[in-house]
Amino acid sequence: MPRAVIIDTDGGVDDAAALWWALRSPELDVVAVTVVWGNVAVDTAMASVGRVLAAAGRADIPVARGAAGPVGVAPGLRPATFIHGDDGLGNTTNGLAAPAMTVATEAAPALIGRLCRERPGEVSLLTIGPLSNLGLVLADDPGFAATVGELVVMGGSARAGGNALPAAEANIAHDPMAAALVAEAGWAQPPLLVGLDVTREATLTDGHFALLGEHRSAAAAFLDAPLRFYRQFGSVLTAPDCPCHDLVAAMALADPDLIPDAPVLPMAVDAAGGPAWGATVVDFRAPAVARLRGAEQDRAPGFGPWRIGLGADVARFRSQAAALFGG
Ligand code: RIB
Ligand code: CA
């Protein structure tokens, strides 16, 4: 029985790959896509998502518009159009007519809250953009967290430093206050953080790009040009390999063996505006402290228990990505 999942996305190129992956996964049933600002403006991200769903033959899935900006004070980041294109799809759709899509009547935070409350423990959440939508749901109803099945967040970094800022990964840096609310909410089970520690390891290779160019699957035909655009700037820290952050997170939701090294550790977000603004702070001392004291690990204010992805099964990721591209 596939697991019901809501995907919360900011409509970029790696988001499109993640969406394609989730739509063709027999493990997942995408019940809604919720859209948030981030890589591009929220309305551009809506159109980007609509194009993916239409190309995948799933224009029936409801798409809800969400936050157009951060819920709290946030660093002023420049738009990521240089990585994702003006359209969020590598400038492959600029000027085309709007896609046919099923736009939800509720805003994203309302839809997320309602779907999870209607089926407590049954609906999972995959977030692959800034956490503004989740922050809004939690601000309205902190009890919502206990109704969510599994939460997988692409964001943050335990040991790998930042990408948008020196210490901050982009999805957290866009809205640190929302991310701080998410970090310490009372989730039913520790959420999985899929951060730069794993997404810079589990990368796409030259072989994947050769395969993409053959257009052997509908996903490859759609993603080929956007991923080539994205690769130019998205892989500056990993060249010649190319991270595809959101795709790793989508696969990790469907396949728990993809990230075998994911200890439960306390995690918080620095929302204070200093040099580490937007950093995810992981307390690696916690297990040692717990052993020493023979008690539950101490948790400082603002921290919540998370499964922190530290190591991926890279071969597994690469083989599943190749399968998506028709290999
Ligand atoms: O840091 C990577 C994340 O930022 C991905 O979700 C990418 O799409 C951008 O939003
Ligand atoms: Ca994203």
Q: So what's the pLDDT on residue 288?
A: 84
Q: So what's the pLDDT on residue 297?
A: 54
Q: So what's the pLDDT on residue 301?
A: 87
Q: So what's the pLDDT on residue 299?
A: 67
Give residues (CB < 6 A) around ligand 1.
Answer: 10, 12, 14-15, 38-39, 128-129, 154, 163, 169-171, 245-246
| Centroid of ligand 1 to alpha carbon of 243 (angstroms) | 10
Q: Please, which residues bridge with residue 34 across strands?
A: 8, 64
* AA identity, residue 156: G
Q: 240: cis peptide before it, omega within 30°?
A: yes
Which residues of the chain fall below pLDDT 70? Answer: 294-299
* AA identity, residue 119: R
Q: So what's the pLDDT on residue 298?
A: 62
**Atom number of ligand 1 nearest to Cα 169:** 1
Q: Which parts of 168-244 fold into alpha helices (H)?
A: 170-173, 176-184, 196-199, 206-212, 218-234
CA 101 – CA 277 distance, rounded (Å): 37
pTM of the model: 0.97
CA 254 – CA 22 distance, rounded (Å): 8
SS3 content of the chain, % helix, strand, coil (to 5): 40, 15, 45
DSSP code per residue over 113-178: HHHHHHSTTTEEEEEES-SHHHHHHHHH-GGGGGG-S-EEEE---SSS--SSSSS--HHHHT-HHH
The answer to whether the CB of 79 falls within 8 A of the CB of 40 is yes
Structure tokens at 296: 């539950």
Q: So what's the pLDDT on residue 157?
A: 98
The answer to whether the CB of 136 falls within 8 A of the CB of 109 is yes
Long-range CB contacts (within 8 A, 24+) of 101-105: 101/46, 101/49, 101/50, 101/53, 101/54, 101/59, 101/63, 102/59, 102/60, 102/61, 102/62, 102/63, 103/46, 103/62, 103/63, 103/64, 103/65, 104/32, 104/62, 104/63, 104/64, 104/65
Structure tokens at 158: 């335990």
245 is catalytic: yes
CA 105 – CA 123 distance, rounded (Å): 20
Q: So what's the pLDDT on residue 286?
A: 87
Domains of the chain, first to last: 3-324 (3.90.245.10)
CA 279 – CA 270 distance, rounded (Å): 5
Spatial neighbors of 204 by CB under 8 A, at least 6 apart, are 227, 231, 241, 242, 243, 244, 318, 321
Mutate to test the pocket of ligand 1, among 9, 15, 44 (most ligand atoms within 8 A of CB): 15
Q: Which one is catalytic: 84, 174, 208, 245? A: 245
Q: What is the largest CA-CA distance in the chain?
A: 63
CA 32 – CA 251 distance, rounded (Å): 17
Q: Comparing C-alpha atoms, which of 104, 3, 94 is closest to residue 53? A: 104
Residue nearest to atom 4 of ligand 1 (CA): 170
